[in-house]
Structure 1
Amino acid sequence: MVTSSKKITPPVTVVAAFFGFLVSTVSALVSAGLLLGAREELANALRTSDTQMTEEQLDQAVTVAQAFAVGVAVLVALFYLWLAFKLKAGRNWARVVLTVVTLLQVASLFTTQGNSLWGYGSCAIAVVALVLSYLPASNEYIAAVKHSR
């Protein structure tokens, strides 16, 4: 950890964790984007369910479902990115929230069906980034940032 005129430079572990969370976020967004290509599969699932929708209603339902899912994914990604930047700035509360979010992401892999390779990859990268954020150099950096305020 290098200090110069009261500016504390994040160690390699924090920088690597930051980039890991960035890559995990981009991967999750790509996975959400793949949902847009699954329009016909969603429509077929609705057709085979016990709904009495016309084709026009079915088309609207698929559009709304896709828009909602992508919108939620974008909002979650923005929140995740904000937390990653706060972690890089040495905020312990961001590391704690990232821990909770990553653990929820891991739990969702075990409790939901239809996970893709993108989902597993995104989660694995987030877990590695999380571990990096708790290594001794990261702990020292976060403590130094807290002490300097």
Structure 2
Amino acid sequence: MAGPVTPPPKLIDVARWLWIASACVGMLRFLEQLLDREMLVTEVRRQNPSMGQDQIDASVNSGVLFGLLIALALVVAYTRLANAMARGRNWARIMLTVLGGASVAFGLFRLVAWASGAAASLGVEMRPVDLAVTAVTTVLDAAAIVLMYRVSAHFRKRGAVDTASVPS
């Protein structure tokens, strides 16, 4: 029988909400892109000029549905990982570190490519809203990573409880 559930330390709780906020901001940006039907139709038409309008519409509709499912799955996955991390699960902290580290690296790469003009010289258009979302999610992810490791004792204590409850 489990003992009373103790709330996570404040910094861990803040990290949890930063992970969830980052996932939601990313999802909202993705949804905004999915709702730009004209851009999606233009892209499908560019890639498949032989398709008829009915085929293009069907392709865009299925792409939007698939995109919505992926966006929802990612928010649920991040939320579950963040909640497991808040409960002291070190494996969740490691997973979030890997995912967040990749996100921070990619975000910094995008921002540097934009600032240096490399993106424009390669013909990559970066709209202001894309840059803002990249900057926000990069900061949220970096802050969440730092906060998770500021309270490492939370994970050691949880690990000791987990191993102590395993029967010999």
TM-score by length of 2: 0.75
Count of equivalent residues: 143
Q: Which structure exhibits the higher relative contact order, with contacts defined as CA atoms closer than 8 Å and separated by 6 or more residues?
A: 1
Distance of 2:74 and 2:34 partners within structure 1: 17
1:112-136 CA distances to partner (integer Å, 9 max, x unpaired)? Answer: 965712243123212211110011x
State how 1:1-149 maps to structure 2 within 5 Å: 7-109=5-107, 110=109, 114=126, 116=130, 117-135=132-150, 138-149=151-162
What runs of 5+ residues in structure 2 fail to find an aligned partner?
111-118, 163-168
Which of these two proteins has the greater Rg computed from alpha carbons?
2
- Residue 148 of structure 1 aligns to which amino acid in structure 2? V
TM-score by length of 1: 0.84
Distance of 2:52 and 2:44 partners within structure 1: 11
- Residue 90 of structure 1 aligns to which amino acid in structure 2? G
CA shift, 1:36, in A, is 2.8
Distance of 1:122 and 1:44 partners within structure 2: 28
Q: Is the 8 A contact 2:20 2:75 kept in 1?
A: no
Identity across the alignment (%): 24
Q: CA RMSD in A?
A: 2.2
Distance of 1:28 and 1:44 partners within structure 2: 23
1:56-101 CA distances to partner (integer Å, 9 max, x unpaired)? Answer: 1111111122221221111111111100000100011000000111
What runs of 5+ residues in structure 1 fail to find an aligned partner?
none
Distance of 2:88 and 2:143 partners within structure 1: 18
Q: Is the 8 A contact 1:35 1:66 kept in 2?
A: no
Distance of 2:156 and 2:4 partners within structure 1: 14
